[in-house]
Structure 1
Amino acid sequence: MLKKNTKTNSSLKIGSKLALAGLIAVGSMAAIAHSDVHAAAAKPDTSSIKAQQGSTYIKTIYALAKEGKIPGLNAIAGKTPISAVHYKWGDPEVGGDLKGNHYEMYNFGMGKGAYGFGVNKSGVIYDLRNFGQSVDQTVGIKSLTFESVIKTLGMPKEVRFTGTDKIYVYHPSTKYELKFVGPSKVVKGKVAHIDHVNVYAGKANL
């Protein structure tokens, strides 16, 4: 009898992990009962493959950034608590044991993408990062290039360099910065693709 229960518990644990990973594609989070708390649920990307490859997708990213959001999440930079993410997705792979201002990372693998969260000492998310997925780099975040970003949004007023990264910084609103991050140098003959996008709420980075 004990052996049977152990097997059942093991099956339940495996099922729970699979369900958690599936949230990135199909999950929706119940609203937390507080007017200032925003659910941080993953939602299906309803954009067509064509839209995800070009200027339409870039315009969608920019439009979401005006509201403090990134594709694939309902979280709002500067408002959503990281506890809402923990509630739905469980503990992060990176950063879950850190205190004060820190970053947390979720990587769902299998083409489902990866997300990062900058968290302030009060537990509020001030930076949202979407790394896209690496299985099919002809669609999504990693299909974008600096050239396609400039063609759609124009040359940014600010370009930053950090380590090996080049960062195009746009200001979709007075509250938020939208950053397209990619390599500052590439092998001759190669095109620099975007690695991830950020929506940053500077006033919440306390």
Structure 2
Amino acid sequence: MLNKSKQSYKLAAKLALTGLLAVSSMTALSHSNVHAAAASASAGKNAQNDYIKSIYKLASEGKIPGLNAIAGKTPISAVHYKWGEPDVGGDLKGNHYEGYNLGMGKGEYSFGVNKSGVIYDLRNFGTSIDRTGGVKSLTFASVIKSLGTPKEVRFTGKDKIYVYHPSKAYELKFVGPSKVAKGKIAHIDHINVYAGKANT
């Protein structure tokens, strides 16, 4: 009987120890999950901040992400050569816009073209398929956090436009809705790099 009692005691001690280890493992696991989630959120915010700053740097050179074109310098014929005829606006004369939707997560782009055939406005609409990255993931708040308050805010139709001046030659515009439903966050619809001197 004494032997059985010792065995029961040992079994109970093992079970208690196992339970204690399981609880402490779960606690450690939940702490590591919290830390991982916090690190992931922090990394996401840092990545978004870096992305916005890279947009600004490219804009200072007259460029936008995803394109080799330079506003005010690249002829639209170079885009036609690379991507073919545009989905919208290819048969227009004078100052006009041409648009390309490259499809399935590859993005949508638009070009303001002057009467000489030089691109004066580059637009990147990002992709509508994955809004967790790229242009569509940005908000006006994230832009301000990365670049500071814009020197100019414009309103056109239903759009609000934050205007930055990364260089004398170019304007960088973050365009999104001027109003959103209560409880919603206004995400950026597209970005522009505009070369005003080329818009002739």
The TM tier, using the shorter chain, reads: 0.7 to 0.9
Spell out, residue by residue over 1:163-206, the C-alpha distance to the aligned partner (whole angstroms, 9 max, x if none).
00000000000000000000000000000000000000000000
Match of residue 121 from structure 2: 127
Match of residue 198 from structure 2: 204
| In 2, Cα distance between equivalents of 1:76 and 1:112 | 20
| In 1, Cα distance between equivalents of 2:47 and 2:122 | 21
1:138 is aligned to 2:132 = yes
Give 1:97-116 correspondences, 5 Å limit: 97-116=91-110
| Cα RMSD (Å) | 1.4
1:53/1:140 contact within 8 Å kept: no
Q: Identify the match of residue 143 of structure 2 among 126, 141, 149.
A: 149
Match of residue 61 from structure 2: 67
1:165/1:182 contact within 8 Å kept: yes
Q: 1:131 to 1:98 in 2, by over 3 A?
A: same
Match of residue 13 from structure 1: none
> Following TM superposition, by how much is the alpha carbon of 1:108 offset from its aligned partner in structure 2, in angstroms?
1.2
Partner SS, residue 81 of structure 2: helix
Spell out, residue by residue over 1:143-173, the C-alpha distance to the aligned partner (whole angstroms, 9 max, x if none).
0000000001001010000000000000000
Alignment gaps of 5+ in structure 1: 1-48
Given the two structures, how large is their TM-score scaled by the length of structure 2? Answer: 0.77
Letter in 1 for 2:188: I
| In 2, Cα distance between equivalents of 1:105 and 1:92 | 6
1:87 is aligned to 2:78 = no
Spell out, residue by residue over 1:107-143, the C-alpha distance to the aligned partner (whole angstroms, 9 max, x if none).
0111111000000000000000000001110110000
Match of residue 117 from structure 1: 111
Letter in 2 for 1:85: V
Give 1:16-35 correspondences, 5 Å limit: none
Larger radius of gyration: 2
| In 2, Cα distance between equivalents of 1:51 and 1:121 | 41
> Following TM superposition, by how much is the alpha carbon of 1:88 offset from its aligned partner in structure 2, in angstroms?
1.0
Alignment gaps of 5+ in structure 2: 1-42
Partner SS, residue 180 of structure 2: coil
How many pairs align?
158
Spell out, residue by residue over 1:3-27, the C-alpha distance to the aligned partner (whole angstroms, 9 max, x if none).
xxxxxxxxxxxxxxxxxxxxxxxxx
Given the two structures, how large is their TM-score scaled by the length of structure 1? Answer: 0.75
Identity %: 80
